[in-house]
């Protein structure tokens, strides 16, 4: 079963690592759940999500589809920018693919909002794998419905 669930890491990561708005958003996010993304931390301006690469994530070149790496990073940004309770949506983002991810790799995407001005924000996400090496770097822009 795929599922974006709050990771069962109760010993080290208490539920309080995810704000109430992020938990609500998680409950209604079918796409990230379906892809297999887990949320481990979300607070205003910061979030961490994880994905273990499976066969169905891989493309014709035998590595994780770049689109799913982007989806993982974009999901981290969505939680970071919505964790405070204001709705924010992405307007633009780009990704640099540094190293390929393969079946069995456990990826972590950590987002930090680096700039905020009025309703607009810029966020950086780094995607790493289990050995700490960088798989991708992502920068995205969001617009909040109200100033945060």
130 makes contact with its own copies (CB under 8 A):
no
**Considering beta carbons, is residue 1 or 11 the nearer one to its own copies?**
1
20 makes contact with its own copies (CB under 8 A):
no
Q: How far is the CB of 41 from its own copies (least distance, A)?
A: 17
How many residues touch its own copies under the rule CB under 8 A: the total is: 53
Are 5 and 48 in contact by the 8 Å Cβ rule? The answer is no
87 makes contact with its own copies (CB under 8 A):
yes
Among 5, 7, 29, 119, binds its own copies (CB under 8 A): 29
Whole-number Å distance between alpha carbons of 144 and 61:
37
Cβ burial of 98 (10 Å; 0-12, 13-18, 19+) is middle
Interface stretch with its own copies, choices 12-20, 27-35, 44-52 (CB under 8 A): 27-35
148 makes contact with its own copies (CB under 8 A):
no
**Considering beta carbons, is residue 46 or 138 the nearer one to its own copies?**
138
User: Which single residue is written with the structure tokens 């796409």?
Assistant: 31
Question: Residue numbers of the site for its own copies (CB under 8 A)?
Answer: 24-32, 34-35, 55-62, 64-68, 70-75, 78, 82, 87, 89-99, 114-115, 117, 120, 122, 134, 137, 139, 141
């Amino acid at each position: 079963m795929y599922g974006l669930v709050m990771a069962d890491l109760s010993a080290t990561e208490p539920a309080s690592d995810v704000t109430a708005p992020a938990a609500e958003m998680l409950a209604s996010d079918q796409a990230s759940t379906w892809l297999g993304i887990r949320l481990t931390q979300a607070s205003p301006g910061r979030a961490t999500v994880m994905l273990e690469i499976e066969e169905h994530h891989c493309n014709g070149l035998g590595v994780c589809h770049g689109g799913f790496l982007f989806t993982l990073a974009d999901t981290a940004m969505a939680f970071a920018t919505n964790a405070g309770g204001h709705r924010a949506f992405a307007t633009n983002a780009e990704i640099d693919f540094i190293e390929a991810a393969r079946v069995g790799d456990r990826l972590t995407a950590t987002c930090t909002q680096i700039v905020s001005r009025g309703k607009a924000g810029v966020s950086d996400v780094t995607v790493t794998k289990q050995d700490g090496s960088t798989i991708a770097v992502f920068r995205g822009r969001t617009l909040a419905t109200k100033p945060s």
